[in-house]
Chain A
């Protein structure tokens, strides 16, 4: 029972904080002089200071050996890496879907424009030839075309990403000691790729809008009228 540590200070002068400040030499010169005087008058503080000094000596016997080699390099567990990659997925897929849609729209817009051009003698006659029946598309037709193209492009993108993921996984399996460096640069390149694709997508979108506007100008009424 008497070996149980007590949290009560041994001295009732209430200078515990000063005592540790003194012990670890963080006192100003003036405060130190003042506390040294106190130590001469307070046996409890003096005894405790000595005892703490011995505790510090003991603490000093526990030294850290050599630093384990493995720490120089940060390694990530494979699972963490994959999890992180997959966390990129939603953003990536959003990008892919947009790209798919954009690609499809470009395709449709292009085919419409080509049709128009092939039916006209010169670009300046587009407005005239627009009225020709074989060049008209209904809105529903365009939409279903777009939808199927989007779906096609999307599944292609998904496959590409899955293949990328799979090859990355294989690479990880082959190289168990994958270093953080490699992983981060890989993630970065994926991210760069993603932002590049999204940038391209944004660019494509504005072009598509132009084309669609053209298309509407040219076929808008005919398309609605059938």
Chain B
């Protein structure tokens, strides 16, 4: 039988600290995905992901059982993302381009020509999305990321951000509007 998040927390707090790795395994992918979409760079996402689990482990005693563990964890991760964005002022387009180049070289290594050109097109679109997302104000970006990539419900997002559902919806609306405009202008610049 699979342990619930709360059961794992209970055991970890009771001294079975190894059990905590179950939570890491269960949540590392969503947390990494969230951080990557928020920050745009794999290296930063990896760091934030680690920071998040370490912070969660250290503060596990402060976690209140009446909240959902995942909401609490997402909140920690978003806080870490925001403080990183404040410190480094976000990622420059140049460094995103650089990372795209690095990634492409790596992926093209053993691909057929056709597959390679297809892959390149996909990469180009993804890179545009990444740039457009990075240009959004973080409050809107986080809502888009949670809704679109983490596939969370409006209620879950409202729980993480501790804002009303209607605010989540209006931020998502404005965010999508801005994404639309930015994607159109990026495509126009090609």
For the complex, is A58 an interface residue (Cβ under 8 Å from B)? Answer: yes
The SS class assigned to the B binding surface is helix
Chain A hits for B182, CB < 8 A: 5
Give the distance in Å from the alpha carbon of A6 to the alpha carbon of B185 in the complex. 13
Chain A hits for B36, CB < 8 A: 64
Give the distance in Å from the alpha carbon of A20 to the alpha carbon of B42 in the complex. 29
Chain B hits for A10, CB < 8 A: 177
B147 A68 Cβ-Cβ under 8 A: no
Chain A hits for B49, CB < 8 A: 71
Chain A hits for B185, CB < 8 A: 3
Kindly state the interface size class of chain B when it binds its partner.
35 or more
Interface string of A11-31 (1 = CB under 8 A from B): 000001101110010100000
B54 A58 Cβ-Cβ under 8 A: no
B183 A71 Cβ-Cβ under 8 A: no
Give B12's nearest chain A residue, CB to CB. A184
A residues apposed to B, CB below 8 Å: 3-7, 9-10, 16-17, 19-21, 24, 26, 51-52, 54-56, 58-65, 67-68, 70-76, 80, 180-181, 184-185, 188
B residues apposed to A, CB below 8 Å: 15, 17-18, 20-21, 24-25, 28-29, 32-33, 36-37, 42, 46, 49-50, 53-54, 57, 122, 125-126, 128-130, 133, 144, 147-149, 153-154, 166, 169-170, 172-174, 176-185, 188
Question: Can you report 15 A-B residue pairs in the complex whose CB atoms are below 8 A from each other?
Answer: A7-B174, A16-B169, A20-B172, A61-B125, A62-B133, A64-B32, A65-B42, A67-B28, A67-B29, A71-B24, A72-B21, A74-B20, A75-B50, A180-B20, A181-B18
